[in-house]
Structure 1
Amino acid sequence: MGENKLRGPILLKLFNSSTVRLISFAENDLSGELPSTIGAFLPNLEGLYLGGNEFTGTILTSISNASRLRMLHLGMNHFTGAIPHSLGNLRLLEQFAIWKNDFSEDSLSKELSFIISLTNCKHLRRLWIDENPLNGFLPKSIGNLSSSLESFHAGSCGIKNEIPSSIGNLSNLVELFFENNSLTGLIPTTIKWFLKLQRIDLSDNQILGAIPSEFCNLLNLGELRLGQNMFSGMVPSCLGNVTTLRYVYLNSTNLSSMIPTSFWSLKYILELDMSGNYLTGSLPAEIGNFKALVYLNLSNNQYLGRIPSTIGALQDLQELSLERNKLQGLIPDSMKNMLQLRHLDLSFNNLEGEIPNSLQVLPDLQYFNVSYNRLRGPIPHGGPFANFTNLSFLSNEALCGAPWLQPCASKFEHESRTKRIVMIVLLTSGSVILALVISIFLIRSKLRKKILAPTQNLLPMATFERVSFHELRQITNGFNESNLLGSGSFGSVYKGICENGMVWAIKVFDLQLEGAFKSFDRECEVLSCLRHRNLTRVITACSSLDFKALALEYMPNGSLEKWLHVNHHVLSIRQRLGIMIDVASGLEYLHYGYSTPIAHCDLKPSNILLDEDMVGHICDFGIAKLLGDEESVIQTKTLATFGYIAPEYGLEGLISTSSDVYSFGIILMETFTKRKPKDEMFTEELNLRRWIQECSPDSVIQVIDADLLHPEDKMVQRKIECISSILQLSLSCTTDAPEERTNMKEVLRALQKIKLQFIKDITP
C-alpha cells in the first residue's frame, strides 16, 4: 500500500493475522496510535515498513516477539518510549531503521545499552537510529555488533563522550554517520580497519586532536565530513593518496599551516570545504587540477597572494567562496571560462584593479560579492550584473558607473611625452606648495581654536566620506518631520536623499538626553571597526559640541517590528526564517568574528532593519559593550528594553554574549508567534517563554502565528514541524542560567539546518 496517501487511523484488524509476512504502509499520511501488542499477532512477519507517516505509540517491545523479522523500518513517525533490550531476540534482523522519532534511552548509566542487545543480531546490515533524543554514550562493546554491519547512522542523537576504540571491529562498514552530536576525545586509530568505508560524517561535534593519518588507509573513501570540530594541526599530507575522495568537508576545525601539495592532485574531487580555519600560504596554480569540482569554499582563512589564473580551468564549478582572506592582486580574467558559476564571493580581501568585464558572459551567476576590497573602475552592467545591488560592491577604493555610485570619469588619450614631463614637474611643485599651505593652515587653526565657535568636524575614521551639518540639513529638508523614519532611545532618524541619488538614514542624537554623547561615541567606535553584511553600515559622521549625527545605510523595508505588528503584509515562514538567520549571522560575527567579542545589549525587533531584498541587518549599537579577552562577563548600569533582556542583565546588570543569545531567543518566539513579550495576555505567572514551553510540543499549534497556517494547505504539518523545531531552539536560548544557553555558532547552524530541511520538505 506504499504511496497511496491513505488517511486516518489504521484498522487494527489488518495486523491481527498470524499468516502475514510483509506489511508496508510507507510514505502515506496514516496516523493514530498503534497497539503496543502488535508483535504478538505477527509471529511470521518478516518485513514491517511504516516509515513516513504520523504514527504514535510504544511498539518496539511487542515487535521483539516477531522472531522471524528481517526488515524493520519505522522512520519519520512519532513513536516514543525506550528502545528495549528484547530486540536482541530478533536474531534474523538485517535492517533496523527507527530514525526521526522520539525514542529514548532509559538506562540510568546513560549508556546506550540497547546497542549491546543488538549484538545478538548477527545478520544486521543496516542500523539507522539518527534523530532520536537518546542522550547517552556509546557502549565500549559497540565493536561486538554484527560483522556484517554496513551502514550505521546515529546523527543528531545527543550522543556524548568518546567513540570507543572497539568500533574498529566493524570492518565491513561502508558508511558511518555520527554527525551533530556531542562526541569528544580523539578519533580512535582503529578506524584504519574500515577498509570498505566509503562515507563518514563526524561533523558538528567536539572531537579533539589531530585528524588521524589512518584515514589515508581507507582507499575506498569517497566522502569525508569532519567539519565543526575542535581539531588542531594540519591536513594529513597522505590524504592526497586517497584518489577516491569526492566530498571533503574540513570546515571550522582549527586547522593551521598550508594545505599539503599532494592534496591538489585529487583531480576527481567534487566538493571541498576548508572554510573557517587558519590556513596560510597562497593558492597554488595546481588548483586548476580540480576540473570536476562543483563547490569550493576556502573562506575565513589567512590566504595571501594572488588568485591564480588557472582557477579558470574549473569549468564545472558552481560555487566559489574565497571571502575573508588576505588575497591580493587582480580578479583573474580567466574566470570568464567558469560558465557554470552561480555563486562567487571574493569580499573582505585586498583585491585591486578593475572587475573584469568578461565576467558578464557568466550566464548562471546569481550571487556576486566583492565588497571590502580595493577595486577601482567601472562596474560591469551587462549579463548577471544587471541584477546585482550595491550590497555586492560596498566599501571599495574607487568603483564607479553603477546607478548608486558616481559616474566614471572620461578616459583621455595618452598625453605626449613632453606633456607628461610638464605634468610631473607641476605636480611636484604643487605638492611642495600644498604642504606649505597645509602647515600654515594647521598652525593658524590651533591658534584660532580657542576663540572660534565650535564647528562641525568629521570623526577621524578613514572610511567615512566628508559631510557637514548644512549638507545633512539640506538632504533631510531641514530635518523635516515628513522625512522622519522613527525615533530611538537617544534621538531620531531621518531619510536623506543626496544629490547623486543615494539615500541615507540620518541618525541625529538628542544631546539633551543623558547618555547621548556616550552612545554616539560607542556607535562610532563599534561601527567603524565592524564589517558584516548583516550589520548596518555607517557611511559618514558629523560631530560638534552641539550636534552629532551618523549617516547610515538606508533600509527601505523598515524594521522587523513593523512587519510583525504594523504592516498589513504577512511575512512567510521562509522569509521569517531567513531574517532570523541573517540576525544570527550578524550576532555570531559580533561574538566570534571580531578580535574582541562584542555584546549588542539591546537586541529587539525594532533594531532589526530590512533592506530592499528583505535581508536582515542589526542596528543601534549605542549601548554595545566590547568584552576584553579576560572579560566574558562585565557589569553595567545601562538597561536595555524590558522583555528582551536576560534575567542576569535586568537583576544584576551582568552583560555577556549569552545576554544577546537570550534576546535573540525572545525575538525568535515573537517572530513566529506574533506575540510581544509584553503582550497584555501575559502576567507575572505567565510570560512568553512559559506559554510556549507549556504548549510544546503537543499543542504547539496554539502558539504559532495564525497567518502562517491554513488548514487547506497540504504542507501544513511540515510547517508546524518546522516552526516547532524553531521554538524548541528558542527555548534553549532563553534558559535562566547563562551557561546553559546555546551559543550563537550553534544557533546559526541549527537555523540553517532547519531551513534546509524545510526547503526539502516543501519542494515538490
Structure 2
Amino acid sequence: MAIYFNLSDNLLGGALPMELSKMDKVRSIDLSSNNFSSNIPSSMGSCEVVELVNLSHNHLQGPIPGSLGNLLSLQSLDLSFNFLSGEIPASLQKCTSLRLLDLSFNNFSGPLPENSLFNSLTPKLIEGNHFCGSEIGLPSCQTKKRSMIHSQKSLILFVSIVSMSSFLLTIICVIGYKNLRHAMFRRDDVDSSNFSLDLSTSYPRITYREIVEATAGFEQSRLIGSGSFGQVYRGVLSDDSVVAIKVLQLQSSNSAKSFNRECQVLKRIRHRNLMRIITACSLPDFKALVLPFMVNGSLESHLYLQAQQSASSKLSLIERVNICSDIAEGLAYLHHHSPVQIIHCDLKPSNILLNDDMTALVSDFGIARLVMKVAEGNIQYDTTTNSTANLLCGSIGYVAPEYGYRRGASTKGDVYSFGILVLEIVTRKRPTDDMFIEGLSLQRWVKNHYHDQLENVIDYFLMQDLQDQSPDVRDMWEVAIVELLELGLICTQETPSTRPSMLDVADDLDRLKHYLGCDKTATFTSSHGISSSTITGDYW
C-alpha cells in the first residue's frame, strides 16, 4: 500500500520535524506553501522509498544536505521559492530516477553539477539564483587555481593576510567615500543607512545621485507613466542596463524606517507573474523603487493601440487568455500564498506589464500598502499576519461597489476588479466609456447582449481573427470567448460572497488554456458549469 504525506497549504511553521527521517515507507512528502523556516534536515536522506518531495513556498534556509543523494527512488524534488543557499551538492547526481528538479527563486550559487539531469534544466527551473557555468544564460564561474598554496598552514596564513588588508582598505574607502559624498551633495546630509536601501545581499545599492544620472535629471522624455502614487521613468544605469524607476509621491517625511520595512516585505514576494523590486532608494524627502523594464509595455498600450503601433500589436485570443491566466495566477499568490497577504486595490490595464515573451506581470501590487504604511509613520508590524485590509483606493470603473459603503479592502474587491479587467480584455471597452451612463455599466451591457449579439460585444479585432479561423478552431474560440465573458460576469457580482476566489479563477483559466492548446476533439467544462458541448452555435 502506497503512503502519501500531504500537509501543503497550511500555516505550519518552525523547523522541519526530525521525525521525517522515520518515513521510510512514504512515497510522497508534500509540505509546500507553509511557513517552515529551518534548514532541511540531513536525516531526510533516510526516506529511501520516497518518490516526490515538495518543500516549495516556505522560508527554508541553508544548503541542500548531501544526504538527499541517498534518495535513489526520488523522481520529483521541488525546492522553489525559499531562501536556500550554497552550491548544489554533487551527490544529487546519484538520484538517477530524478525527472523534475525545481530550484528557482532561492539564493543558490556556484556551478551546476554536470550530468544529463542538470544539463536539461530549463531556465525557469533555476531562475532567481546566482548560478554560474557554461550553460546558456549563465555567467562564467571564472574559477581561480591557487597552485601557490600547498598546505593548510600556508592557506591559513594567506587568508589572514588578505583579510587584514581588506579590513584596513575597507575602512579607508568608507571614510573617504563618506567625505566625498558629503562634499558633492548637500542633500545627502543624512545617515548612510537612509541613503539607500539594501533589499538583499544579492541586490545592488543605488543612490539618489545614480537615480538622477539614470533618468538624465528626471527628463520629461524619460517619463513613461504616471499615476496617483508617482511617476515612472525609463532609466539607464552605469552598466547600461535599462530599468524602470518609480518615484513615489509621499505626503509624510522622515518615514525611511517605515518605507524600508515595507520594502523588505515586498521583496520577499516572488512569483513569475508579479513584478519584482530590484532595489530602492530612501531619503527623508525622496523615495523610489527600481524595477525591471518591460519592453512590451502595458496591457493598456496593447488594448488601445496608438497610431504609430503596427497591426501586429493586436492581441490574439490565445494571448488574451494567457494574459488573463497570468494575472489570475499572480493575484492568487498574493491572496493565498504570499508570506504577507497583499490586496492589490488598483488592478487595471496600465498596471499589467508584458515582458519580451508577452508573459503578464502584475505591477504596483504593493504600492498602496507601501504609501499608506509610510503615511502612518510608526506602525506595529507583524511579518506573518499583516495585510492591506484597511486600505481604500483604486481607479474609477474598477473599484468594487462595497468600497463605496466604507467597507475595508478585501480579496473579493480584487476579484471584482479582475472581472472588469477580463470584460475589458474581451470587449476592448473601458468601464469609463462614454456609452456607460444612466445606470448602464460594462458588465450590465455585456450581460444584456452577449447571449444573442455576441458579435457586437467582443472586440472588433478579435471578431476579425475569429472569422479567419477554420470551422473547428472557430468552435473552440467561441467556447473560450463565452467562458471569459461568463467568468468576468461572475467575478463582478454585486455581493462579495458570491464571487469566486482567485484560486478558483486561476484553475478555470488554466483549464481553458489547455483546452485551446488541444486538438479539435478536446472539450472544456469550467467550475461554474459552462461546457463546450452546450455553447457552440447558440450565441451567434
Normalising TM by the smaller chain, what interval? 0.7 to 0.9
Structure 2 equivalent of residue 471 of structure 1: 210
Equivalent residue runs for 1:222-261 within 5 Å = 239-240=2-3, 252=8, 258=20, 261=23
Offset of 1:431 from its aligned partner?
6.7
Select which of 65, 90, 102 maps to 1:306: 65
From 596, 600, 623, give the equivalent of 2:368: 623
Of residues 645, 666, 691, the one that matches 2:399 is: 645
User: Is contact 1:336–1:362 with CA below 8 Å preserved after alignment?
Assistant: no
CA distance, structure 1, for counterparts of residue 178 and residue 207 of structure 2: 23
Q: 2:220 aligned with 1:458, yes or no?
A: no
**What does residue 355 of structure 1 align with?**
112
Question: Residue type matched to 1:584 in 2?
Answer: A
Question: Structure 1, residues 255-279: CA drift from partner, whole Å, max 9, x if none?
Answer: 9874973545x6xxxxx79464659
Of 673, 687, 694, which residue of structure 1 is paired with 2:448? 694
In 2, are the aligned partners of 1:300 and 1:324 still within 8 Å (CA)? yes
Counterpart position of 2:516: 758
Q: 1:602, 1:549 → 2: CA distance?
A: 19
Equivalent in the alignment of 2:78: 321
TM-score (norm 1): 0.54
CA shift digits 1:575-598 (9 cap, x unpaired): 222222222222122112234322
Q: Is the 8 A contact 1:324 1:349 kept in 2?
A: yes
Distance in 2 between residues matched to 1:563 and 1:556, nearest whole Å: 12
Q: Deviations over 1:485-519 (max 9, x none)?
A: 222223322222233342211122356xx579989
- 8 Å contact from structure 2 (residues 340, 385) kept in 1: no
SS at match of 1:660: helix
- How far 1:334 sits from its partner (Å)? 6.3
- 1:579 has 2:323 as partner: yes
SS of equivalent residue, structure 1 residue 537: coil
Distance 2:178 2:43 in 1: 50
Aligned mates of 1:564, 1:722 — CA distance in 2: 18
User: How far did 1:558 drift?
Assistant: 0.7
Determine which of 593, 596, 602 is the counterpart of 2:346: 602
TM-score (norm 2): 0.73
Q: Measure the CA separation in 2 of the matches of 1:260 and 1:731.
A: 50
Task: Report how far residue 609 of structure 1 moved.
Answer: 0.8
Say which structure, 1 or 2, has more relative contact order (CA 8 Å, 6+ apart).
2
Match of 1:706 in 2: 460
Match of 1:10 in 2: none
Instruction: Provide the C-alpha distance between the structure 2 equivalents of 1:555 and 1:649, rounded to a whole number of angstroms.
Output: 32
Aligned residues: 478
* Higher helix fraction (1 or 2): 2
CA distance in 2, matches of 1:590, 1:732: 21
Greater Cα shift, 655-664 or 712-721: 712-721
Task: Report the CA distance shift for 1:484/1:452 in structure 2 as closer, same or farther (over 3 A).
Answer: closer
1:601 CA drift (Å) = 0.9
Displacement of 1:634 in angstroms is 4.2
Deviations, residues 652-704 of structure 1 (Å, cap 9, x unaligned)? 25211211111111111111221111122211321111122223545444422
Deviation (angstroms), 1:552: 0.8
What 5-or-longer segments of structure 1 have no aligned partner? 1-237, 241-247, 267-271, 389-398, 402-407
CA distance in 1, matches of 2:174, 2:234: 38
Which amino acid in 1 is paired with 2:322?
G
Deviation at 1:549, TM superposition (A): 2.0
Aligned to 1:679: 433
Q: For residues 31-42 of structure 1, what are the structure 2 equivalents within 5 Å?
A: none
Q: Is the 8 A contact 2:87 2:108 kept in 1?
A: yes
Q: Of 557, 562, 567, which aligns to 2:301?
A: 562
Structure-to-structure mapping, 1:36-185, within 5 angstroms: none
Q: Secondary structure at the match of 2:467?
A: coil
Cα 1:612–1:262 shift into 2, 3 Å = same
- Flag structure 2 segments of 5+ consecutive residues without an equivalent: 374-380, 523-540
Is it true that 1:656 corresponds to 2:407 in the alignment?
no
1:669 corresponds to: 423
- Residues 79 and 103 in structure 2, CA contact (< 8 A), matched pair in contact too: yes
Out of 353, 369, 391, the residue aligned to residue 125 of structure 2 is 369
Per-residue deviation, residues 121-148 of structure 1 (Å, max 9, x unmatched) = xxxxxxxxxxxxxxxxxxxxxxxxxxxx
Which of 720, 742, 749 aligns to 2:500? It is: 742
Residue of structure 1 in register with 2:337 after alignment: 593
Deviation string 1:720-750 (CA, Å, 9 cap, x unpaired) is 1112122222222112222222111211112
Residues 250 and 466 of structure 1: CA distance in aligned 2, closer, same or farther (over 3 Å)? closer
Is 1:490–1:510's contact at 8 Å kept on the other side of the alignment? yes
The letter of the residue matching 2:126 is V
SS in 1 for 2:399: coil
- Aligned residues of 1:509 and 1:516 also touching (Cα < 8 A): no
